[in-house]
């Protein structure tokens, strides 16, 4: 039984990681060919002076990510298959601490170990790759502060959620999967309010946009969209990176809009309004609630799987675990993670549909597609994003349609209203 369970875990983790590596390799080759074929469009529409720089950036990020992922899989398998995980769980069970405390300590150890493992990769990505391509604005001291604060936040949040679920396991042994599922879903809802007000300010400053041309632009698009929101903020993203973005978060009186200061600097008024209208669509079209519902269904499946794992004696015998549910839960999550990755092409469909609907909403709000088109081109060019992902890679990894596809769709759906007729959007590579 030990060899069978270990083989299954190795096959699952290793197999999914191998799939990821193949997809990454396909994506790099496909994207390189497409970018070179569309050299003129990349230079003119995306305002990228050297398309080869875009390809080099994607290649550097992908190679580092692959190396980190493979080493991570090997370390996890070594810890579990060698019996070290079982020994750690056994040692915890012999401390005499309450079972809930043992489980929280095991989680805390995993969080700290994971953070320490990622340190060299994060350092290289930030101060070598991001620095080389002109994105990094972080100092080593700020990076260290983020690491420490992020670790504490992860420990607190993880400890609270894990403690609540394990308490349900101990108090309601026959119902804990249902209670645990409800706790996780409820916590996700709570985080929509807590994150922007408590956690995000630990890392960035948020200045209210209360007056001036930017506020006038925001109010104008709010009026067009039939939306009311007093909490509009500009975030000092440039303190860490020149990458740009925007997001909408919260619900009811707690909803807020956040614009990166880099986005405000890189885009003109109408493009910013189009991005804002796109973000507002996620609220106006109930995308937030639909995504939450989809996540709740996914979590229900995960908890059903964890229930089966923890009530199956094979997992305890196979990995030398003590008779503690938290120990089996840890193994169950290792099996569940790759399975969720394999289901990504299905779960991503909802997000893709929402992004297309949000693009349509932005075009309708602005009364033309030129603003949204410029915004999409600026985001791709300024961030050196790969505009031509391989279809298989996109199916597993992308929650947003590729930029050229979004622009072509806007032209088709809205009769090219406001588009530049002299600028053709290239198709994907052949």
Matching residue, tokens 């609540």: 164
Integer Cα distance of 247 and 374 in angstroms: 18
210 is catalytic: no
Q: Where are the beta strands (DSSP E) in 173-279?
A: 206-208, 232-235, 246-249, 256-260
Residue 398 CA: distances (Å) to CA of 22, 38, 246, 353: 16, 21, 18, 12
In angstroms and rounded to an integer, the radius of gyration of the C-alpha atoms of the chain is 24
Instruction: Tell me which residue of 376, 367, 420, 405 sits closest to 271, measured CA to CA.
Output: 376
Integer Cα distance of 273 and 270 in angstroms: 5
359 is catalytic: yes
Contacts of residue 327, defined as CB under 8 A and 6 or more positions apart, other chains included, come to: 85, 86, 89, 93, 106, 316, 321
Q: Which two tokens stand for residue 69?
A: 């992922």
Q: How far is CA 98 from the centre of its chain?
A: 34
Of residues 355, 359, 377, 405, which has the active-site annotation? 359
Matching residue, tokens 């072509």: 408
Q: How far is CA 366 from the centre of its chain?
A: 28
Integer Cα distance of 393 and 258 in angstroms: 29
Residues in the chain, total: 430
Matching residue, tokens 């081109």: 377
Of residues 125, 130, 234, 279, which has the active-site annotation? 279
| Cβ-count burial 115-154 (b if 16+ within 10 Å, e if not) | beeeeebbebbbeebbeebebbbbeeeebeebbeeebeeb
Integer Cα distance of 108 and 322 in angstroms: 19
Integer Cα distance of 405 and 425 in angstroms: 8
Q: How far is CA 205 from the centre of its chain?
A: 21
Residue 34 CA: distances (Å) to CA of 37, 57, 67, 147, 419: 5, 15, 25, 37, 23
Supply φ then ψ for residue 234, to 5 degrees: -110, 125
Q: How far is CA 216 from the centre of its chain?
A: 31
DSSP 228: -
- List residues with catalytic annotation: 279, 359
């Amino acid at each position: 039984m030990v060899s069978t369970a270990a083989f299954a875990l190795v096959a699952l983790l290793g197999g999914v990681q191998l799939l990821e590596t193949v997809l990454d390799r396909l994506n790099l080759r496909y994207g390189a060919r497409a970018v070179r074929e569309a050299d003129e469009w990349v230079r003119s529409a995306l305002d990228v002076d050297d398309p080869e720089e875009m390809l080099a950036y994607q290649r550097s990020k992908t190679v580092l990510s692959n190396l980190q992922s493979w080493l991570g899989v090997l370390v996890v398998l070594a810890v579990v298959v060698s019996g070290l995980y079982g020994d750690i769980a056994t040692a915890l069970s012999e401390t005499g601490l309450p079972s809930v405390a043992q489980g929280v300590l095991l989680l805390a150890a995993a969080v700290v170990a994971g953070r320490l493992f990622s340190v060299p990769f994060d350092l290289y990505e930030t101060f070598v790759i991001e620095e080389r391509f002109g994105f990094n604005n972080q100092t080593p001291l700020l990076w260290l502060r983020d690491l420490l604060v992020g670790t504490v936040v992860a420990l607190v949040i993880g400890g609270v959620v894990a403690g609540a679920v394990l308490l349900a396991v101990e108090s309601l042994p026959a119902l804990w999967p249902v209670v645990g599922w409800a706790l996780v879903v409820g916590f996700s809802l709570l985080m929509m309010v807590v994150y922007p007000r408590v956690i995000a300010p630990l890392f960035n400053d948020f200045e209210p946009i209360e007056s001036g041309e930017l506020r006038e632009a925001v109010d104008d698009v709010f009026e067009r969209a039939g939306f009311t929101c007093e909490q509009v903020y500009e975030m000092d993203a440039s303190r860490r990176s020149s990458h740009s973005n925007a997001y909408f978060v919260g619900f009811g009186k707690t909803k807020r809009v956040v614009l990166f200061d880099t986005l405000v600097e890189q885009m003109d008024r109408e493009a910013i309004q189009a991005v804002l209208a796109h973000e507002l669509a996620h609220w106006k079209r109930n995308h937030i609630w639909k995504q939450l519902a989809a996540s709740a269904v996914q979590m229900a499946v995960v908890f059903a799987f964890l229930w089966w794992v923890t009530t199956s004696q094979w997992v305890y015998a196979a990995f030398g675990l003590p008779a503690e549910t938290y120990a089996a839960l840890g193994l169950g999550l290792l099996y569940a993670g790759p399975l969720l990755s394999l289901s990504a092409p299905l779960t991503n469909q909802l997000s893709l549909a929402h992004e297309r609907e949000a693009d349509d909403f932005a075009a309708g709000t602005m009364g033309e597609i030129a603003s949204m088109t410029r915004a999409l081109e600026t985001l791709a060019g300024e961030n050196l994003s790969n505009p031509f992902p391989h279809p298989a890679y996109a199916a597993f990894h992308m929650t947003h349609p590729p930029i050229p596809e979004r622009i072509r769709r806007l032209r088709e759906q809205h009769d090219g209203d406001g588009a530049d007729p002299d600028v053709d959007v290239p198709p994907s590579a052949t």
